[in-house]
Structure 1
Amino acid sequence: MKLAYAVLLSLVYVVLLLGFYAVHVRFLPVDVVLYSAVQDALAALAVLVALVVALRRFLPFTGFEALLLVVVWFLGGYAFAISVPTVLDRSLSFYILEKLEQRGGGIRRDAIGQVFTEEYLPEYRLVDVRLTEQLESGTVVIEGGCVKLTAHGKRLAAASRFFRTHLLPRKRLLAGAYTDALIDPFKNSPKGRIGYECG
């Protein structure tokens, strides 16, 4: 009996989540895809929690069981926000598949790099998208024509660098060979001032 109610309420949550998401992306402004999808998950959760509270006399759950269901619903909504709209919005892998399909099913291997620099960046407005995300996240500011890290951005950059250096695979398959190249991608970058730095 409890399982049937839990499944039914979970289906109601999925319908609410997809409904809020569809209305949001169709009719309302979206600053950052991930954040708006999480807002939709929270809005759907709030409606469902209100419904559960209103019907608590008729539901077979203890308070703790109801709390666990709320946690499961939130985690499901968060997983949806990250795994569906955010991945599709950000994924270079899906771009490759879509571009291959657009170009008749195949692109020469030696032209893939050209596709990224000449088509991917402008088609997806990648610089604008990523810069907007960073501004909205509070990790950068733009002052006097310069993009600058905030204190929050510095902390995230240091954490990311630590994770990349110490916790990413040291034997990762890239272009047919196992390598540790991505644990230090700046290793072969030019040293010293390049000319685009601020100040």
Structure 2
Amino acid sequence: MKIVRAALASALFLGLLLAVYLVHTRYLRVDVVFYDALQDVVLAALVAAGALFGLRSFRVFNPFEKCQLVLIWLLVGYALAISVPTLIDRSLSFYILEKLAQRGGGIQLASFEDVFTREYVKEHRLVDVRLTEQQASGTIVIDGDCVRLTPRGEVLAGFSRFFRRHFLPRQRLLMQAYSDELTDPFRDGQPPPSDYGC
């Protein structure tokens, strides 16, 4: 009996999450896809928790079990927020598939660098999207014409570099050859002086 009620309560949460997400993405403003999807998860979980704690049909659960269900919903919602809208929004892999479909199913291998640099960055407004996300995350500030790391950004950049160097695969398949190049993409040292520093 409890398992059926838990399944019904969880179905209610998932239905609410889908409804909240669709209303949010179609009719409201979205600043950062991932953060806004997380807000949708929390809102759906709160409404479903209200039903779980308030309706007679769910009195079969004790308070601890109800809290466990809400926690499970939050974790499932978090996984969905990352795995569906955020992944599709940010994924270069999905872009490749969409671009191949747009071009009739095939693109010459030698043209992929041009497709990325000339089309992907422009079509998906990557610079605007990523700068917006980083500002919302508090990792950068835009000071006039200069984009600067915040202290939080410096910590995250340091963590990312540490993780990349020590915990990413050292033998990763890249176009039919195994390489460790992506564990330290800046291994050649400091870039040459340029005119874009500030």
Q: Return the TM-score normalized by structure 1.
A: 0.96
How far apart are 1:57 and its partner, in Å?
Answer: 7.2
**Shift in CA distance, 111/59, structure 1 to aligned 2, threshold 3 Å:** same
1:176 is aligned to 176
Stretch of structure 1 that moved more, 60-69 or 1-10: 60-69
2:29 is aligned to 29
Distance 2:56 2:138 in 1: 40
Distance 2:113 2:73 in 1: 41
Distance 1:113 1:144 in 2: 31
Alpha-carbon contact 1:38-1:77 (below 8 Å) kept: yes
2:95 is aligned to 95
Letter in 2 for 1:172: R
How far apart are 1:190 and its partner, in Å?
Answer: 5.5
Distance 1:170 1:24 in 2: 41
How far apart are 1:59 and its partner, in Å?
Answer: 2.3
1:166 is aligned to 166
Q: Which runs of 5+ in 2 are unaligned?
A: none
Alpha-carbon contact 1:13-1:73 (below 8 Å) kept: yes
How far apart are 1:51 and its partner, in Å?
Answer: 1.0
Letter in 1 for 2:114: Q
Report 1:1-199 matches (<5 A).
1-55=1-55, 58-188=58-188, 191-198=191-198
Aligned length: 198
Identity %: 56
How far apart are 1:194 and its partner, in Å?
Answer: 2.1
Alpha-carbon contact 2:41-2:77 (below 8 Å) kept: yes
Question: Equivalent residue of 2:42, what SS?
Answer: helix
Alpha-carbon contact 1:5-1:59 (below 8 Å) kept: no
Alpha-carbon contact 1:139-1:150 (below 8 Å) kept: yes
CA RMSD of aligned residues (A): 1.2
How far apart are 1:144 and its partner, in Å?
Answer: 2.5
Q: Return the TM-score normalized by structure 2.
A: 0.97
How far apart are 1:188 and its partner, in Å?
Answer: 3.1
Question: Equivalent residue of 2:173, what SS?
Answer: strand
Question: Equivalent residue of 1:130, what SS?
Answer: helix
How far apart are 1:65 and its partner, in Å?
Answer: 1.1
How far apart are 1:56 and its partner, in Å?
Answer: 5.6
Q: Which runs of 5+ in 1 are unaligned?
A: none
Alpha-carbon contact 1:165-1:184 (below 8 Å) kept: yes
Alpha-carbon contact 1:33-1:86 (below 8 Å) kept: yes
Distance 1:55 1:23 in 2: 25
Question: Equivalent residue of 1:173, what SS?
Answer: strand
**Shift in CA distance, 57/175, structure 1 to aligned 2, threshold 3 Å:** closer
Question: Equivalent residue of 1:152, what SS?
Answer: helix
